[in-house]
Amino acid sequence: WVNEKAGEERIVYHAGAVGVIYKLKEDDQDFFTGHDDDIVCLDFHKGSGLVASGSIGAGRTVRLCIWESWGELKQRQCITGFQQYAVVAVAFNPDASMVASVGMDEHHSVALHSVETGMLLAHLACDKNRVVSTIFNTGADVDSCANFITVGVKHICFWGPMDTAVK
DSSP string computed for 22-50: EETTTTEEEEE---SS-EEEEEEETTTTE
Provide the pLDDT for residue 144.
Answer: 61
Provide the pLDDT for residue 138.
Answer: 67
pLDDT in tens, the chain (167 residues): 666 665 678 899 999 999 999 988 889 999 999 999 999 999 999 888 899 999 998 777 799 999 998 877 889 999 998 898 999 999 999 889 999 999 998 988 989 999 999 999 888 888 888 888 888 876 655 556 678 888 889 988 888 765 554 44
- In eight-state DSSP terms, residue 161 is S
Residue 70 and residue 89 in contact, taking contact as beta carbons nearer than 8 Å: no
Provide the pLDDT for residue 77.
Answer: 92
Provide the pLDDT for residue 166.
Answer: 47
* Amino acid in the structure at residue 77: Q
Strand partners, 31: 20
Provide the pLDDT for residue 113.
Answer: 92
Residue 145 and residue 136 in contact, taking contact as beta carbons nearer than 8 Å: yes
- In eight-state DSSP terms, residue 150 is E
* pTM for the full predicted model: 0.88
With the C-alpha atoms ordered 155, 60, 40, 115, is the resulting torsion angle positive or negative?
Answer: positive
Residue 107 CB contacts under 8 Å (≥ 6 apart), including other chains: 125, 126, 127, 128
